[in-house]
Chain A
């Protein structure tokens, strides 16, 4: 069985089928997933906009990033949990859905971008005096982050369009 074939096997399990066929569970999971994505993307957007110097000028960028990160991770945890269940219930169809595959790649890119921030930007950011502009590396990574998360939202919404077209 190939990796992609195993997706079909996953969606054929009794619990995944039950989620897929439920009139209540699937929409509820989908709603919580969207809200969690909004929570996570929203907090990331604020932190990124601060790194770019566009919001919260009175609070150091490193402090904003430190204070919002736990909320971002909470949003990510809820998004991943609900996303995992949604994926399992439709895995068989999603293996042929280009928007979903793009979304997975974008999520991986977002993860790499976080890693790049920790390695390349955080040390310099911690040394940046209050009120000063964030280091160039931090600003580039913040702009990339905003672009990637905007694309994640676009791809996530596009998944439904491709699914409805029988993708």
Chain B
């Protein structure tokens, strides 16, 4: 089913436009990196803040909530630009091992992030130890996503 989806995407005008243009891929890649910085920065500060290892916000859960919006918007930008980037050669990405690892880690990272959002929003908030463990999980998974992204370019 996924193979059929990637195959169909390769035939769309969007995929043709990305493939045929000398600048769409480059510009999209730059937007992708900027979105990664925004999402990564927000998750890093909120996540490390939740662990208590740095930043020492008086209200750790409040700091996470205060960064949540920009982080999710950044993710939306990451996904939109990522879909465009894949359009340059969808089937190559489909069969690329590093891309598969990255997508798996992304799915896990976003799921863990959503679960952490629920834990932080609970009244009363979950135990600090649980929030810290959740934050570490989210950050490690995102580090894996970033490493997977680099690996796509290198291999």
- B52 within 8 A of partner (CB): no
Given contacts A34-B33, A55-B70, A58-B59, 17 further A-B contacts (CB under 8 A): A27-B154, A30-B150, A31-B150, A31-B154, A38-B146, A39-B41, A41-B41, A42-B38, A43-B41, A45-B37, A46-B42, A46-B45, A46-B67, A55-B67, A56-B66, A70-B54, A154-B34
Residue interface bits A148-163, CB-to-B below 8 A is 1, else 0? 0110011001100100
Query: Are A153 and B37 interface neighbours, CB within 8 A?
Result: yes
Q: How many Å from the CB of B129 to the closest CB on chain A?
A: 22
A42 to B36, CA, bound (A): 8
B residues contacting A by CB (< 8 A) are: 26, 29-30, 33-34, 36-42, 44-45, 48, 54-57, 59, 62-63, 66-67, 69-70, 146-147, 150, 154
Is there contact, CB below 8 Å, between A153 and B34?
A: yes
Contacts A35-B146, A45-B37, A157-B33: A55 and B42 contacting too (C-beta < 8 A)? yes
Closest chain A CB from B142 CB (angstroms): 10
List residues of chain B with CB within 8 A of the CB of A31: 147, 150, 154
Interface membership of A167, Cβ < 8 A: no
Check B146 against A150 for contact (C-beta < 8 Å). Answer: no
Q: Which 7 A-B pairs have the closest CB atoms?
A: A42-B41, A56-B66, A41-B37, A154-B30, A67-B55, A42-B40, A31-B150
Q: How far is the CA of A123 from the CA of B29 in the complex (A)?
A: 38
> Does A42 lie within 8 Å of B42, measured CB to CB?
yes
Which residues of A in the span 30-83 have a Cβ within 8 Å of any Cβ on B?
A: 30-31, 34-35, 37-39, 41-46, 49, 54-59, 67-68, 70-71
A39 to B59 CA separation, bound complex (whole angstroms): 23
For the complex formed, measure the closest distance between the CB of B135 and the CB atoms of chain A, giving whole angstroms: 15
* Assembled-state Cα–Cα distance A4/B69 (Å): 46
- Complex: how many Å from CA A85 to CA B63? 36
Are A71 and B54 interface neighbours, CB within 8 A?
yes
| Separation of A48 and B99 alpha carbons in the complex (Å) | 32
A31-B56 Cα distance, complex, nearest whole Å: 29
Q: Within the assembled complex, what's the spacing in Å between the Cα atoms of A22 and B154? A: 13
Across the interface, which residues of A come within 8 angstroms of B57, CB to CB? Answer: 59, 67
A161 contact set on B, CB distance < 8 A: 26
Cβ of A144 to closest chain B Cβ, rounded Å: 16
Assess whether B55 is in contact with A34, with CB atoms less than 8 Å apart.
Answer: no
A41 partner residues in chain B, CB cutoff 8 A:
37, 41
- Distance, CA A19 to CA B1, complexed state (A): 44
